[in-house]
Chain A
Amino acid sequence: MMTLPRITLLFSGLPAFADSFLPGISTVALVHAENRLMMFDTGPYAYRPILQGRLRKLNIDVGEIDTVILSHVHWDSAANADLFPNATILLHERELAYAETTSEHDSETPAYIGRALRRLRLEPITSEPQLCPGVRIVELPGHTPGSIGLKVGDALLAGDAVGCACDAATGDIRYMAPATALARNSLKKALGLAAVIYPGHDRPFHVGPPVTYLDDYAVRIRFFTDPTGPDEEIRIGSFAPKSFASWPGD
């Protein structure tokens, strides 16, 4: 019997804004399929030890990942692609070209990302190949020239082509720039393809209508505002009590 492909969410994206830094809280997922273990996106470098810890908790060795699919090459999606020594890195040919020609002052793509990626085993793609039964690439250009998603069963890992549930609910690009005709077409294409969408910067949702989230969300942030006093802590959403004792390895 064939094992149906399934998604494990490693990092839930969050459409957060801050006044003086870029949150970059993007979605990272594992895709399990028959004899395959794939990563969809790798997050910003700021995820690195937490990503390693979450894989360890799932008893997954980084060497077991055979494929990394990069939805696009922005700083908050592609910074940890080098963690997987046996993986082939799939990205769109146009995206690789974009990574290698990006200007020094691109607000989302560092100039060195192309050079960092070139050290890896890259497989640039140009269409919508099936990777294994039930799993295929979907072209979703607009957010970047070579943005792609991954269809897994009736779900779609959309990258930033669907930034958040808000964009899906309004059918318009409100959150995730640039709001071009190309990006709007890709949003529309994504919404027509799947029953469940994993957006680049939000929790997964049922396309509906109405758009409804699959799950709750929790954030904990701790600030050391007073060197001799207790930490200030912000908790948002539902959460289990958690210690920072082994931070950041969990």
Chain B
Amino acid sequence: MKIDLLIPGLPAKADHFLFGICSLVLIRTAGRTILFDTGPFRIRPTLIKALRQRGLAPADIDTIFLTHLHWDHVENLDIFPDAEVLTPRSEFEYAAAPRPNDWGTPPYVREILRNMRVTLLPELEQEIFPGIRTLLLPGHSIGLQGLVIDTGEERAVLASDALWSARDATRAVPDVAFFDPARAQASLERALAAGEVFYPGHDRPFRFKDGKVQYLTQYRYELSFPFQPLGQSFGIGISTAQTMSGEKRP
């Protein structure tokens, strides 16, 4: 059993657009190569590159675990046309006619899933592969399911957006709980009690050490903005390398 973070979720908000960069995790276990969520379109080249760096092509992914059917988790499904897609039945049925005010679920998400080999998961916590159990975490969306993976040494909780960022854990309140806030609150507590290592939907994996969040990885992003027609670009780098929990920035 190997849990491999392909892309760490990014806890960022802009005034102009949603980032939607969620955590994508590769799980390799006896006989299966499982991709946990597929991310938004904007990370498609990065996802393909991350697979290639591991010697994998999209066709090598035989199983996709889709936690829920929000746009930022499903937009790259089409590059895995032959994979078996595991997703909650309640999500799939709801997606046929999402609430009009539900901006997370594309009304055309069933078109994205069309012609795919979909296995619908019942509303039941069960071992779907040896050492891999589903976890019912509704509230962020109608029927979100995460995974608890027992590596033999510890249990990793892949909570998706039931635990949007590590801040949800420190504040004990779910940040993005628009479908059903009461159930989202219960699901956050349930996720945090289910293991020792946590993979949030839109943040880096972490564990608790002396009651504090300790991130397990870093990230850095570079952006550049050409603001004048023939001028220089304005570049920005974002790095967490100085902001490990427990360390103070200078």
Residues on A close to B: CB < 8 A? Answer: 11, 14-25, 43-50, 52, 75-76, 79, 82, 104-105, 107, 110-112, 115-116, 119, 164-166, 168-170, 175, 205, 211, 213, 217-228, 232, 234, 236-237, 242, 244, 247-248
Contacts and interface: CB of A to CB of B under 8 A. Distances in A.
Interface stretch (B85-93, B129-137, B183-191, B219-227): B219-227
B229 A223 contact: no
Contact of B16 (A25, A164, A168): A25
Contact of A236 (B10, B167, B234): B234
Contacts of B234: 236
Chain B: interface secondary structure? mixed
A78 B72 CA distance: 16
A49 to B, nearest CB: 4
B139 interface: no
Contacts of B17: 24-25, 43-44, 46-47, 50
Given A44-B17, A50-B18, 4 more contacts: A11-B16, A45-B40, A166-B229, A224-B166
Nearest to B220: A19
Given A169-B229, A219-B16, A21 B11 contact: no
Contacts of A21: 19, 21, 42-43, 46, 221
Contact of A228 (B40, B78, B170): B170
A169 B222 CA distance: 26
B14 A237 contact: no
B121 to A, nearest CB: 22
9 contacts: A75-B75, A104-B79, A110-B41, A110-B112, A115-B114, A116-B108, A169-B230, A223-B11, A247-B15
B44 A107 contact: yes
Interface stretch (B140-148, B154-162, B237-245): B237-245
B15 A237 contact: no
Contacts of B236: 234, 236
Contacts of B41: 22, 24, 44-45, 75-76, 110
Contact of B14 (A45, A76, A217, A220): A220
Contacts of A50: 16-18
B18 A46 contact: yes
A105 B47 CA distance: 12
B145 to A, nearest CB: 22
Interface of B: 7, 10-21, 40-46, 48, 58, 71-72, 75-76, 78-79, 81, 103, 106-108, 111-112, 114, 165-167, 169-170, 203, 212-213, 221-230, 233-234, 236, 238, 240, 243, 245
A226 B43 CA distance: 23
A112 B103 contact: no
A121 B89 CA distance: 30
Interchain residue pairs A-B with the least CB separation, the first 10 = A116-B108, A227-B166, A224-B11, A165-B229, A169-B229, A111-B78, A19-B222, A49-B103, A115-B111, A22-B42
Nearest to A45: B71
A112 B108 contact: yes
Nearest to A83: B107
Contacts of A110: 41, 75-76, 78, 112
Given A75-B41, A107-B44, A45 B75 contact: yes
A52 B103 contact: yes
B245 A44 contact: no
Contact of B42 (A19, A46, A236): A46
A51 B78 CA distance: 26
Contact of B223 (A16, A75, A217): A16
A16 B224 contact: yes
Nearest to B101: A52
Most buried by B among A20, A43, A237: A20
